[in-house]
Structure 1
């Protein structure tokens, strides 16, 4: 039995949802998001909450049960609070700044890196060494953060590069004489 799948997804005030067949559409203050579930689960709207139940006892149905419930919960969280990833830049001369819809990164290359921010995501730089990525789609926010981090991942000797806030970089010892 799925412990996650058993719990219904409650809809907070200001959020409305419509269930039609295998599709859920959630509307809230931060926009509209939708999710289409597989045929292994049944979606139902009951008492201002969305419930997910498996169709049968097959392994795939039980796997999809918890995953589908989590996807619906992420839709609700996305349209109410949104998702946020924070990146930190470490290194002498490494910095970031926003210019319109472009994130300019100085990462020690011979040129600045221009990163085009996709629609549906907002990127801000409160400091030159911090990047904040926000949006209503958890997958898109995480992918944008990973794409930015990919330009200069932290190295293990001095820790220079772009890392997630709170990420621990395992340090290696340098050469010895």
Structure 2
């Protein structure tokens, strides 16, 4: 886990760290505006202040590839590689209840996520429901998942995301 960023004047240092676990390819960035790192009984803890958020940044998660038309006959061998476009990064943003303490380790942070509430764009609605407003880009403090061609969505507040707290399965395999 990384250390907090530099402090600006009288403000405490901002929590901004890289989360890396090579055994199952977790490579994320954590921001926690409104939180501080403090010593706790079991090690360093993320202590939540008022109006705090937990932001998990992901590298690009999607790739759009060129379509090759297939007919009943075998397609001709392409003379070049397929074109592709990568999505931009994605982020999950969680609201944190003031006074909460979360262990400052990858396993503890992953374990806390299912119990937290996602912050989503105002127009995000559950499947089958139509939101009242037009499309708006999610703000920096709202969940945003990007697909290729800058198509950005924010799940509804009913969405949830989980990942195993610890590496799963045989050492030669990875949970995706």
Higher strand proportion, which one?
A: 1
Same fold, TM-score > 0.5, yes or no: no
TM-score (norm 1): 0.25
TM-score if structure 2 supplies the norm length?
Answer: 0.25
Query: Quick one: higher RCO (CA 8 Å, sep 6+), 1 or 2?
Result: 2
Rg (Cα) greater in structure: 1
Larger helix proportion of the pair: 1
